[in-house]
Amino acid sequence: MLELKYVEKTFGDARPILHIRDLTIPSGEIVGVLGENGSGKTTLLKAIMGLGEVQHRDILLNGRPVEEQYEQLAYITEEGSYIPKLTPVQYAEFLSAFYPQFDLAYYHKLLKFYELEPDKRIRTFSRGQKSKLEISAGMAKGAKYFLMDEPFLGKDMFTRRDFLKLMIGNLKGDETILIVTHHLDEIETVIDRALIMSRGRVEADLYMDDLREQGKELAAIMAEKAGYRPDRYKSVLE
């Protein structure tokens, strides 16, 4: 269970870019972290990972401070958490030292599947290849908690579909996943719960089963929460 008791990040005197109180994610949940550009999704994942300065940060993982157990977390980000000067093989050596449960065989299976050369420097990979490497490493960490920031960004349609199937197919059921994405259509059927962020706060916390029962669509709720008007672009044309 992941418990965000109080997390707040501010720049200067401005309004906090992240303000979360008492958000609990039980083990085994797949949670979509959604919201407009700049609403705080990446900041939220980074705050959980302890990346960057955060003024208030009280986060528990299974009842203990998260900072004592980062090896339980796999952070998969479009920015890349790999070390560019290493080759995939060297990077795996590095990861094995930090993640005792790192699954080398599965990592190599994924490298092969994604046709990534194991002995080529990561920095020479294309953007898509780097992001496939990021996914391979993240999924092989044997972590129970996955924080994924835009794992679909820059990937072609088939790669996105493969990734989702691989991710789901590899789950044992007790993994907890927070996935930041703008691809609603692709994750709608996969997530259990949706957190809709707005201006650094959780504006709506919804269970997909409830939505389906009520015959509501996630996209419509997001538009409502964001106050989106389909004709708003017209002000630019005037």
Among the listed residues 84, 81, 34, the one whose alpha carbon sits nearest the alpha carbon of residue 184 = 34
Q: Are strands 145-149 and 73-77 parallel, antiparallel or unpaired?
A: parallel
Site residues (vs ligand ATP, CB under 6 A): 11, 17, 35, 37-43
In whole angstroms, the minimum distance from the beta carbon of 153 to ligand ATP comes to 9
In whole angstroms, the minimum distance from the beta carbon of 49 to ligand ATP comes to 13
- Identity of the residue, 37 or 126, whose beta carbon is nearer to ligand ATP in the bound complex: 37
- Identity of the residue, 32 or 40, whose beta carbon is nearer to ligand ATP in the bound complex: 40
- The token pair at 40 is 């705080």
Q: Tell me the residue type at 83.
A: I
Among the listed residues 78, 81, 80, the one whose alpha carbon sits nearest the alpha carbon of residue 70 = 81
Beta bridge partners of 202: 197
Contacts of 104 (CB under 8 A, 6+ apart): 92, 96, 140
In whole angstroms, the minimum distance from the beta carbon of 131 to ligand ATP comes to 15
50 alpha carbon, distance to own chain's centre: 14
- Angle in degrees, CA 60, 65, 70, rounded to 5: 100
In angstroms, the CA 19 to CA 132 distance is 32
In whole angstroms, the minimum distance from the beta carbon of 199 to ligand ATP comes to 8
In whole angstroms, the minimum distance from the beta carbon of 180 to ligand ATP comes to 6
- Identity of the residue, 17 or 184, whose beta carbon is nearer to ligand ATP in the bound complex: 17
- Identity of the residue, 232 or 234, whose beta carbon is nearer to ligand ATP in the bound complex: 232
- Identity of the residue, 37 or 235, whose beta carbon is nearer to ligand ATP in the bound complex: 37
